Structure 1
């Protein structure tokens, strides 16, 4: 679960950073800032940046999710086999 929170915090941090950069650049060009467009651009920029910058954290999260799914599958199969053997 730790990997999820680290990845989520880094994604939020990237979005906030991208928002500040896009807002600042737009404000330097024109003082009339369209916040909706800034949000959309910041979302796109942070998404592209996270794809490159956060690859290691994303892979760590994927490994944890896969391990957890494997454990859940094993438990399910164990319960199912017990039910099958008790039904005989």
Structure 2
């Protein structure tokens, strides 16, 4: 579960950083700020978080491939 948490926290962090930078640049419109932050953080995460994304997808595929154990 750790790779999923790391990736999610990193995505949220990039969103907050993008929103902060746009606020510093003087963006006042809340809707535009949220949309632009979402877009910028998505592009940045595609470039910067490829290793974390690969680790997360490997973790999820491992979990999906294993059968569940039932205690009878």
Partner residue of 2:30?
A: 35
Q: Does 1:70 align with 2:71?
A: no
- Residues 21-59 of structure 1 deviation map (CA, whole Å, 9 limit, x = unaligned): 11111x1xx7xx111101100100000000110000000
CA shift, 1:4, in A, is 0.7
Instruction: Give the alignment's TM-score, normalised by structure 1.
Output: 0.73
State the aligned residue count. Answer: 70
| Root mean square deviation of aligned Cα | 1.8
Instruction: Give the alignment's TM-score, normalised by structure 2.
Output: 0.88
| Greater gyration radius | 1
Q: Which runs of 4+ in 1 moved over 4 A?
A: none
User: Going by fraction, where is helix more abundant, 1 or 2?
Assistant: 1
**Using the alignment, how far apart are the partners of 1:52 and 1:35 within structure 2?**
26
The gaps in structure 1 that reach 5 residues or longer are 77-88
Partner residue of 2:20?
A: 20
